[in-house]
Structure formats: structure tokens, C-alpha cells
């Protein structure tokens, strides 16, 4: 009995400590990005005044940290299929950002992100129904 328990505990430690393969994380786990622009399905283009004020960081454990201008938040992310991405609800601070901020735009549309693409070192997060795409570049 003791031997079986020791084997299970040892096996659990070995499995629990094994690194998560990047392929399982879809190439976006353990990465951080800053916003380059939003391209709307209707042709609208929105560019942040400062890329560093709009960031997203994907942790390997399924957590995500964001900065939408003057607010910060945390939530979860999961891959639901090849290049298919869903975010859980975000817990965001609620400071009032200055005029011209993209905070409200991002906070409103974040739940509608459905897919992602990695192209030329950039991350594209696409909204459902071809209603737009956010382009991110790696944070420095």
C-alpha cells in the first residue's frame, strides 16, 4: 500500500512538472503583445496613441492579463480548436480613461474574439462574423 502511494505521488510530481508543449498552447502561450491597430469589418481603422498602453499577456496556465489604456484586468483563455480562441470574462479596473482612449472599444468587443492568426511575427485576434481584427506585435 505504501509503495503504491509513493509511486502515485512520484508519478503525479513528474507529470505535474513536465513542461507544457508549445503546440498545445497554439503558439501564443507564454507570450506578451501590444496593440498595433484595429481593422473593422466596415473598413474602420483605429490606432492607439501609445501601443504600450494596450497589451495582452497569455500565461501557459490559461490565464490572461490585459491593459486597456488606464485599466488593467485578468481573465482566462482557451483554445477551442485549431486557431480558435475564447476568452473568459475579464475582471477589469474601472478608471475613466481620457478622451480618445480605445478602452471602451476593447472592453466591449473582447468577448467576441473567436480566432487568432500568427503572421510575420504579429498576432491577429479576429472578432466573430468578420466584424474586425486586432493586430498585435510582440512587446519589447
Q: What is the pLDDT of residue 128?
A: 95
Consecutive sets of 10 residues in the chain, 140 residues long: mean pLDDT of each?
Answer: 39 38 70 97 96 97 97 96 94 96 96 96 96 96
Which of 104-110's residues contact partners 24+ apart within 8 Å by CB, and which partners? 105/38, 105/46, 106/35, 106/54, 106/66, 106/68, 106/134, 107/68, 107/71, 110/66
What predicted TM-score, i.e. pTM, was given to this entire model? 0.81
Domain boundaries, the chain: 22-138
Q: Report, at the CATH architecture level, how domain 22-138 is classified.
A: Beta Barrel (2.40)
Amino acid at each position: 500500500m505504501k509503495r503504491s502511494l509513493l509511486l502515485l505521488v512520484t508519478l503525479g510530481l513528474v507529470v505535474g512538472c513536465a513542461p507544457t508543449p508549445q503546440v498545445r498552447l497554439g503558439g501564443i502561450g507564454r507570450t506578451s503583445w501590444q496593440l498595433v491597430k484595429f481593422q473593422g469589418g466596415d473598413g474602420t481603422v483605429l490606432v492607439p496613441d501609445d501601443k504600450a498602453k494596450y497589451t495582452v499577456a497569455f500565461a501557459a496556465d490559461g490565464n490572461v492579463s490585459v491593459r486597456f489604456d488606464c485599466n488593467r484586468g485578468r481573465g482566462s483563455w482557451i483554445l477551442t480548436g485549431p486557431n480558435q480562441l475564447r476568452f473568459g470574462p475579464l475582471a477589469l479596473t474601472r478608471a475613466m480613461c481620457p478622451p480618445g482612449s480605445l478602452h471602451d472599444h476593447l472592453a466591449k468587443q473582447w468577448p467576441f474574439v473567436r480566432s487568432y492568426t500568427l503572421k510575420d511575427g504579429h498576432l491577429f485576434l479576429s472578432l466573430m462574423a468578420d466584424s474586425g481584427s486586432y493586430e498585435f506585435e510582440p512587446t519589447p
